[in-house]
Amino acid sequence: MAATLRTDRGRIRRQNEDAAFMDEKRGVFAVADGMGGHLAGEVASSMAVDAVRRMAAKHDAPSIAVLRDTVQDAHREILDRALTSPACSGMGTTLSLLWRGGSYVYIAHVGDSRIYRQRGGRLEQITQDHSLVAEMVRGGLITAEQARTHPRRNIITRALGTPGDNTPDLLAADTRPGDVWLLCSDGLTGMVEDADIERAIAENPLEQAADALLRMALEAGGRDNITLILYRHDGQTPQARGEETTWKRD
């Protein structure tokens, strides 16, 4: 297997409220994009990633039930902290989680971070955004292109840790040797169009592709925190208990 992670504060924001988890050997990957005032977003995204880390340490194989429990646990913990710690009031986070088992990946997803699969040079968004503009696109009210610059594009309709809807989308998708999976926060997809992401992944080895994607988001303005994981399915089988990489800093 091969996987790589990039995260960057961007050019405008003072903190990086994204968090990410990568356990390459076990095939577990997650991106969380926190929201909330004054560092609270960082707390929320870190708590979501912690729940993923505990999941990866406890279970040897993926299942939809395990993913559902993990998301529920993360939600309850974050909401509990938000309700009891005044500094964390109102915080929440997205979570896009992928766990590969054999020729499938299992996905849990809440919010507007994204998971894509690139196969045969073609990029396909596998998750659906839980955002107001995505609902408007699905309803035919605006185009995907208009959504990218819509003034309300930051409004998400589901999040972990908030009292509203937190229901995760749970899905399985097939994966083949040669597929490249991309998990990312909206700091990438809000700045870089899918066609350019597709080209960067198609034309570069994994590490260079990750560098290129981050550079493109920064050069486009870097208005938000940028986090991305690239994972190439090279045919090897995930192992139990691998080396993990957790990223978190301000």
Contacts with Ca ion by CB under 5 A lie at 33, 185-186, 224
Distance CA 214, CA 222 (A): 9
Shorter beta-carbon distance to Ca ion: residue 33 or 50: 33
CB of 18 to Ca ion, least distance (A): 7
Q: 228 - beta bridge partners?
A: 6, 184
CB closer to Ca ion out of 8 and 179:
8
Are the CB atoms for 103 and 109 separated by under 8 Å? Answer: no
- Cα gap 187→228, rounded to integer Å: 9
Q: Where are the beta strands (DSSP E) in the chain?
A: 2-8, 18-23, 28-35, 92-93, 95-101, 104-110, 114-119, 122-125, 169-174, 180-184, 226-232, 245-247
Q: Least distance from C-beta 226 to Ca ion, angstroms?
A: 8
Q: Which is nearer to Ca ion, 33 or 129 (CB)?
A: 33
Identity of the residue, 19 or 107, whose beta carbon is nearer to Ca ion in the bound complex: 19
Shortest distance, position 155 Cβ to Ca ion, whole Å: 12
Least CB distance from residue 84 to Ca ion, whole Å? 25
